[in-house]
Amino acid sequence: MSMSKAARLMAGLMQTPGHLASTQGWYRERLAGLDAGSPEGRQARLAFFAGEGAFLLHFLHFLRFIPQQDAEWQGVFADIARLLEPPP
């Protein structure tokens, strides 16, 4: 997908209240179970945001990886997963 097409899709989403509300609801559901008052909940929230950011950067072609094949891409998500591990 070209960068301009991705930008148009995102702009369209932002201007379509029904789609925007649906997407906002999806994110609310994902974050609803996290206790932002606990260190573990904050770590999980951070890991979720980091994963979403990595996908967005890839999707917009700001960072190019070959998902499922690129060792650097896999390393990014391994680092994010480590955010969820309990401290030693």
Contact 60, 3 (CB under 8 A): yes
State the total domains in the chain.
1
pLDDT of residue 3 exceeding 60, the answer is: no
Question: Residue 41: which domain range?
Answer: 3-82
For residue 62, the model assigns a pLDDT of 77
Of 24 and 1, the one with more pLDDT: 24
Of 10 and 40, the one with more pLDDT: 40
Query: Domain for residue 39, yes or no?
Result: yes
Query: Domain for residue 11, yes or no?
Result: yes
For residue 44, the model assigns a pLDDT of 92
For residue 6, the model assigns a pLDDT of 64
What are the structure tokens assigned to 9, written together?
């899709």
Of 80 and 3, the one with more pLDDT: 80
Query: Domain for residue 25, yes or no?
Result: yes
Q: How far apart are CA 80 and CA 51, in angstroms?
A: 7
For residue 63, the model assigns a pLDDT of 74
